[in-house]
Amino acid sequence: MIARSSARHYRWGAGCDGWHLVATDNLSIIEEQMPPGAAEVRHHHQKAQQFFYVLSGVLSIELANEEIDLLPRHGLEIAPATPHRVFNRADVPAEFIVISSPPSHGDRMESSA
């Protein structure tokens, strides 16, 4: 059994948090929290397929030059090699799950517009 309180924690970006719920050679499941105003750089993954699922708040995702706002209990799949970035324009933290197969760590490359 795993819970956020017992999962391995890490910090990323400007005040963002992640908790590794599953970390195997084939699968990564991370609960993340992004504070208001935070954003990551546009990037893509060479091999990882990802799925973002929002628990609370609003997570904005730039994908194929389109911005999509994900509300709680909504998700979005991102195929490998697809440039994207996530950000939080809301005034409350965004909490979400990121599922990556294979894991995306070490598979990330910055993308131009």
Q: What is the pLDDT of residue 106?
A: 80
Cβ–Cβ under 8 Å, residues 38 and 91: no
> What domains are defined for the chain?
4-65+74-89 (2.60.120.10)
Cβ atoms of residues 65 and 54 within 8 Å: no
> In this predicted structure, what is the pLDDT of residue 80?
95
**pLDDT per residue as tens digits for the range 6-18:** 999 999 988 999 9
- The DSSP code sequence of 6-70 is GSEEEEETTTEEEEEEEE-SS-EEEEEEE-TT-B---EEESS-EEEEEEEES-EEEEETTEEEEE
Residue 90 has pLDDT above 70, yes or no: yes
pLDDT tens per residue across span 22-62: 999 999 999 999 999 999 999 999 999 999 999 999 999 99
Note the pTM of the prediction, 2 decimals: 0.93
Instruction: Write down the pLDDT at residue 113.
Output: 58
